Structure 1
């Protein structure tokens, strides 16, 4: 009788397993020990590939990016505005696909240069539209940071995907702020319909970029 052979460990396999576990345990509960158990190996085997948890998060973010780009479909003739909308909508959707996805992505460093092709293409479109390289970099990074921050807040206020729970209690908030009627009334705008809030915020940024740099 032959025993089942364990798959050969590599960084991508470990990162993929970690992303699957993330939905069950969240970022705080994700440990190299838990991943090793899922892979049916000893924890020290993972330290050969990752010296610490941040190194693992870097690889997880890289794998998330690979999957996001694989699912992306950007028309070759898209304007810079359309590219910003598409890229950030895609990023938000990708981050929302994982529990604590935005926290994993935030502050992580890609482990390869997979992102360079898309970045180079994006910057060429922007500079071709009249942006300086510095303006193009600022415009794209600002919208990226908006999306990361927005989803961190969104995931912090909503129950994890597929899990029961309630979002932010607007009635309780309104009661606490009863002496501040405008602040109380702003609650539903801030904490409900994140889809609309994201779209409006992104379009505000794009309008600001157009106004600031004078490029329509």
Structure 2
């Protein structure tokens, strides 16, 4: 007999609990308890935790996809940077959001609509399809990686893990490594600046390595 819950309920509950438990503590048993059902009831909808993570990542993407996109005549740089910023913002909305998102597979084809518009805008600006995919996937990987590092330091907004306390780190590294100590101010103190600077480097690198791009606007 089918369970009284549906997949959307399970996914929404899992995303809500994620901020309480983190990825390691998010178990099917914990979700079942929250839904007041037996754990086996979840297996009607998700064969294992990975299947649930796929559904969670898909829902995270759907929620992100409702945010405004650049206009049809926006320069290609806006499409690259806005996609990265929207992704970072979405991942930071959940504890371990980047770890959940990384390595998962979307269920359904909802993501294809946004991907089509994004790739189409880049091709219209002078990218080949291959160049557009490589530029987008490289920027995506950069963004996910930065957020994974950011969330290892700040699992939740306003909370910092003890190993990344700058004063404690400086004392542990010692006076013999002044550059390494000073680097902590950039590595662990301002992830917004770190992300934006890295994103600017990515855009400059794309512009320098993809021939025939229009500097701004469309080709």
The aligned residue for residue 3 of structure 1 is none
What is the CA distance between 1:8 and its match in structure 2? 4.5
- Normalised by the length of structure 1, the TM-score is 0.91
**Structure 1 pair 177–139 and aligned structure 2 pair: CA distance change class (3 A):** farther
Task: Work out whether 1:127 is the aligned partner of 2:115.
Answer: no
Task: Map Cα deviations across residues 37-66 of structure 1 (whole Å, 9 max, x no partner).
Answer: 111111111001111100000000000000
What is the CA distance between 1:10 and its match in structure 2? 2.1
What is the CA distance between 1:169 and its match in structure 2? 1.4
Where in structure 1 are there 5+ consecutive unaligned residues? 1-6
- Output the CA distance in 2 between the equivalents of 1:160 and 1:114: 29
Pick aligned residue for 1:199 from 193, 196, 201 = 196
Alignment of 1:101-140 (within 5 A): 101-140=97-136
- RCO (CA 8 Å, sep 6+): is it higher in 1 or 2? 2
What is the CA distance between 1:201 and its match in structure 2? 0.4
- Normalised by the length of structure 2, the TM-score is 0.90
Task: Work out whether 1:187 is the aligned partner of 2:184.
Answer: yes
**Structure 1 pair 39–27 and aligned structure 2 pair: CA distance change class (3 A):** same
Task: Map Cα deviations across residues 48-89 of structure 1 (whole Å, 9 max, x no partner).
Answer: 111110000000000000011123343232221101111111
CA contact (8 A) 1:159 1:167 kept: no
Alignment of 1:1-216 (within 5 A): 8-161=4-157, 168-175=164-171, 176-214=173-211, 215=213, 216=215
- Output the CA distance in 2 between the equivalents of 1:104 and 1:129: 33
- Output the CA distance in 1 between the equivalents of 2:123 and 2:4: 44
Task: Map Cα deviations across residues 105-164 of structure 1 (whole Å, 9 max, x no partner).
Answer: 000000111100111111111111111111100000000000000000000011424768
CA contact (8 A) 1:22 1:99 kept: yes
What is the CA distance between 1:172 and its match in structure 2? 2.4
- Output the CA distance in 2 between the equivalents of 1:177 and 1:137: 44
- Output the CA distance in 2 between the equivalents of 1:153 and 1:141: 18
Where in structure 2 are there 5+ consecutive unaligned residues? none
**Structure 1 pair 177–114 and aligned structure 2 pair: CA distance change class (3 A):** farther
- Output the CA distance in 2 between the equivalents of 1:89 and 1:21: 24
**Structure 1 pair 64–167 and aligned structure 2 pair: CA distance change class (3 A):** farther
- Output the CA distance in 1 between the equivalents of 2:155 and 2:57: 21
> Please, what is the CA RMSD of the aligned residues?
1.8
